[in-house]
Structure formats: structure tokens, C-alpha cells
Amino acid sequence: MIELSLLGGWRLTSDGSPVALPEAGRRVVAYTALHGPCTRLQLVGALWPEAPEAQAHACLRSTLWRIRRCLDPLLLLRDDLVMLDLARIRLDLSELNALLLRPPDPPRPEPAYLTGGDLLPDWYDDWVLPKQEQLRQHCLHALDRLAAALLEHGDCAGALEMAMGAVAMEPLRESAHRAVIEVHLSEGNASEALRHYQSYRRLLWSELGLEPSPLLRRLLPVRTSSTSALS
């Protein structure tokens, strides 16, 4: 069993033992994991953009040879295409994407799987950054949907877990804080709802100089004037 993890950092193992790849090899494998099957021209353009074309293709050939020496079934080469051998690889990103596409119905997933780690943190390549933000947004929306679905099913504890997971990922995200407040109100805990609202309001004002939206303020059972002093 080959396992490739991109969430929370790069990890590659075969039958539980770590596999060391050269840096160029890690980037080739990561690129195919994020973008799917790609041509050699795509790879050299993304990974060796400033090298002369002949030199870039030579670097790719050398890198593919080194990858196959380290772990032969990791990549498949089909004519001009390079791709992961997904029939033999367990890829954590694929599992997370399948979870994100699943309808938001109980039983709930472990929130740690949605918030357990950024995609390839500390990688700043141009071809990684958009994928990082895309996945982050997908996870946040999934947590919002799951919180709403669980609250509708009466699972307040599960809904609060998902909502707080979204708050931890993005502390300024109003929809996440709204979900937390809705859970507290559904349980009859108006004081908890108001306390959370005031905490979010202070944070939002401190960071952005903004007040919570009227939609959020209308949830509260008491008047929360935007002109009153922040406390």
C-alpha cells in the first residue's frame, strides 16, 4: 500500500515506511496529484519555467527516472501523459474531495478531516497557491452546510462542532459565527449566543473596523445596536 499525504505537509510511505524523493520528484508527484494527468510540456512549463526547453525536458526525464528508482508504481507514463497510479495509491486529498462532494446528511464526518491541515503548507509555487485557497474555501462551505444540516436534524452538539471548526479555520467568517449563535439559540442558551456575538463583534471591529451584518444582529433576542460601545 502506497500512501501519499498532501494535507498538513508532504508525506509518502510504502507499506508504512517513509519513501524519500528528491525535491524535483516531490514536485512532479504533487503536480500530478493536484492537476491530474498532464503532458510533459505542462510539467516542464510549470516546474522549470525559466529553463531552456531542451534542458527542462532533460530535467523532467531525469526526475521521472529517479522517481521510478525510488518507488516504481507511483507514476504511470502513457505516451506523452504523466499521471499518478491511483489504483495503487491512497491519496488523502482524493478522500477529502469525495467527502466534500457527499450530501451534508448525518452521520457527520470527523471535523478534523475537514480542518486537519492546509494543502502543502509552506509550498508557495504558483501552481499550488490557487489549489490551496480553493480547497480551503471548499472545506469552509462544507462545514457551513454540515452545521446547518445537523442543526436541522436536532444534533446541536454536532452542529456546534462543525461551526466551531469553521471559526477556527477562518475567525472572521460571519457565516461560521452565525451558525454557532443559531446552535446556542436553538438550545435556549440566549446568554451564550449573546456572549459569542459580542466576542465576534469585538474581533471584527479590531481587525477590519466593521460591524456584524444586520442579518446576524437580527438573530439576537435583545437589541444589539451597532452604535453602542464595544465591550
Domains of the chain, residue spans: 2-90, 103-217
> Residue 55 corresponds to which cell in the numbers above?
534542458
Q: What pLDDT, on the 0 to 100 scale, is given for residue 72? A: 80
Residue 184 CA to residue 123 CA, distance in Å, equals 39
- 145-152 long-range contacts, Cβ below 8 Å, gap at least 24? 145/104, 146/104, 146/108, 146/109, 147/176, 147/179, 147/183, 148/104, 148/179, 149/104, 149/105, 149/106, 150/106, 150/108, 151/179, 151/182, 151/183, 151/186
pLDDT the model gives residue 73: 83
Residues of the chain falling short of pLDDT 50: 226-229
| Set of cell numbers at residue 163 | 461551526
Question: CATH says 2-90 is which class?
Answer: mainly alpha
Fold (CATH) for 103-217? 1.25.40
Where on the phi/psi map is residue 158: left (φ > 0), alpha (ψ -120 to 50), or beta?
alpha
| pTM score of the predicted model | 0.82
Find out whether 183 and 160 touch, Cβ atoms under 8 Å: yes
Q: Give the whole-angstrom CA distance, residue 74 versus residue 85.
A: 6
pLDDT of residue 213: 95
Contact 124, 30 (CB under 8 A): no
The alpha-carbon radius of gyration of the chain (Å, integer) is: 23
pLDDT of the residue at 99: 77
Separation of alpha carbons 37 and 75, rounded Å: 10
C-alpha cell at 208: 477590519
pLDDT (0 to 100) of residue 103? 66
State the pLDDT at residue 189. Answer: 95
**pLDDT for the residue numbered 1:** 86
